[in-house]
Structure 1
């Protein structure tokens, strides 16, 4: 698409997401250069590496029609950003991203249960 100021519909470097704390510089430099297909394959490979390293499974699991964008462990809770799609789909799907705080609560009968607290929609200027 051609725009009068010479912009061809490309996103500017200012629009590029900021890597989360702890991402090595070499990875943060290389990832933006990958195509969407290469990024998807990289995610799959990273998940396989986590399993290989015997990482414990996260207690945060997406529900039906949900995609977790980010889960960050904090002191006493997990900060989760996720997208949600309607069960039957709609023109606006997916919805979000939405921010949640998730706490593991003890159950009287034993074990724990994740309690999700909805905080609101995450907007691009919120660091997303």
Structure 2
């Protein structure tokens, strides 16, 4: 182990408790901590939702499923109408790879959600 004088300084933004605890870990514990931190980073990147409500839309619920996100939303007409708001409607939303590169969010309309299904 290194001496306290040679110990690295934690970068700005590392929580104080974490900066205190990490130097106490063994090399094996540090390696496992790095693996866990990398998995957490991937988890956060994978669950970043591409789902944004459009104009006059309210997302009631968004539930992550295996391979897609289940979204229930309502819409309101821009000029208004006697039947507003419309829905709620159920969609499956997937982020798909494009042949030319990048991704596109695809909304698949499944139908109306009735009150006992919400």
Map 1:1-128 onto structure 2 (within 5 A): 57-126=48-117, 128=118
TM-superposed deviation, 1:122 = 0.4
TM-score, normalised by the number of residues in structure 2: 0.58
Please report the RMSD computed on the Cα atoms of aligned residues, expressed in angstroms.
1.8
- The equivalent residue for 1:40 is none
Q: What's the TM-score, normalizing by structure 1?
A: 0.53
Looking at structure 1, the residues matched to 48 and 59 of structure 2 have their Cα atoms a distance apart, in angstroms, of 14
Deviation at 1:57, TM superposition (A): 4.5
- Whole-angstrom CA distance in 2 between matches of 1:87 and 1:108: 35
Name the SS of the counterpart of 1:125 in structure 2: helix
- Where in structure 1 do 4 or more consecutive aligned residues deviate above 6 Å? none
Unaligned runs of 5+ in 2: 1-43
- Paired residues, what number? 74
